[in-house]
Amino acid sequence: MTNENWFIPAGSRPEAGWTDVVDGRIAGWAHTGLRTGALRDGGELRLPADAVERLVVPLAGSFTVAYDGATQPLDGRASVFEGPTDVLYLGSGTPATITGEGRVAVAEAPTETVRPSAYIARDDVPVELRGAGQSSRQVHNFGTPAALDAARFIVCEVITPAGNWSSYPPHKHDTHVGGEESNLEEIYYYEAAVSRGVAAPPEAAPFALHRTYASDDRAIDEFRQVRTGDIALVPFGWHGPAVAAPGYDMYYLNVMAGPDPERVWNITDDPAHGWVRQTWEHEQLDPRLPYRKDPVR
């Protein structure tokens, strides 16, 4: 079955100047949130002083965040396909105002636990080149436990070159098994663009594909064509692949959190497809990676 709650087309949940707001007001959703917004001509976006931790992630453009009597510039990028960006973690209960020009995302997780706000510069973002062959992708781990002292969420972003598969093999994290599997909701915020260095006609319409399907008796069957700004929610179940169509690079921002006592990302592969990981030992990393702010052509 498909559930319209689990797919949010770009611009379908606007609120208070934000393009889209995902939070616990969506039926069946409880542990994660996401805001996306666009700024120009001196506008601003406000973050209320809720019991929510946040991570401010520039998507395109640069911004300044005012919070706790301080201001923090965030050196962004022209697009999500230009490598890492500065990010800013805001501890729970911290109101803030974002100014600048461009598009921005704010990952969220409700929590009463307060961690100190923290700035992570672009050059300090851990960059991981994951997989091999047509499963090669680039991961920016700015909101993982190793990089950020957060209370609840795990946040990262992934760039997948045109024609490659990501979030593959399909996997799940919907049942708490200590040391083996985590119970985490997951948000995928997508963008797609004509692949670097490719000449495309004006009518080109970049897209990618997203898949989620049942891992137990909880019914879910999502297979979506996604475009820039679309959001896919994974409450449970196997998810993957996320596929970059030939000709179009794919980006997604992941936000994960759940009810488990430990903040950790442990997954279980779909046994029908997990064996594919072994084939990577005999393949090379896609030579198009890494994607950087100033790519070498």
Position 211 in a domain: yes
Position 2 in a domain: no
Comparing CA positions, the residue from 143, 136, 110, 115 lying closest to residue 250 is 136
Position 152 in a domain: yes
Per-residue tokens: 103:
């598009």
Whether the bond into 235 is cis, omega within 30 of 0: no
pTM over 0.85: yes
Average of pLDDT values for 187-196?
97
Position 54 in a domain: yes
* pLDDT at residue number 2: 55
* pLDDT at residue number 81: 97
Position 297 in a domain: no
Position 93 in a domain: yes
How far apart are alpha carbons 240 and 253 in whole angstroms? 14
Other C-beta atoms lying within 10 Å of the C-beta of residue 36: 25
pLDDT at 259 over 90: yes
How far apart are alpha carbons 45 and 101 in whole angstroms? 11
How far apart are alpha carbons 56 and 67 in whole angstroms? 12
How far apart are alpha carbons 122 and 2 in whole angstroms? 38
Q: pLDDT band for position 3 (50/70/90)?
A: low
Q: What CATH number did the domain enclosing 254 receive?
A: 2.60.120.10
* pLDDT at residue number 1: 46
Average of pLDDT values for 75-92?
97
The range of the structural domain enclosing residue 204 comes to 7-277
- Is 207 in contact with 248 (CB distance < 8 Å)? yes
Position 151 in a domain: yes
Q: How many domains does the chain have?
A: 1
Position 98 in a domain: yes
Q: Is the dihedral of CA 143, 146, 148, 150 positive or negative?
A: positive
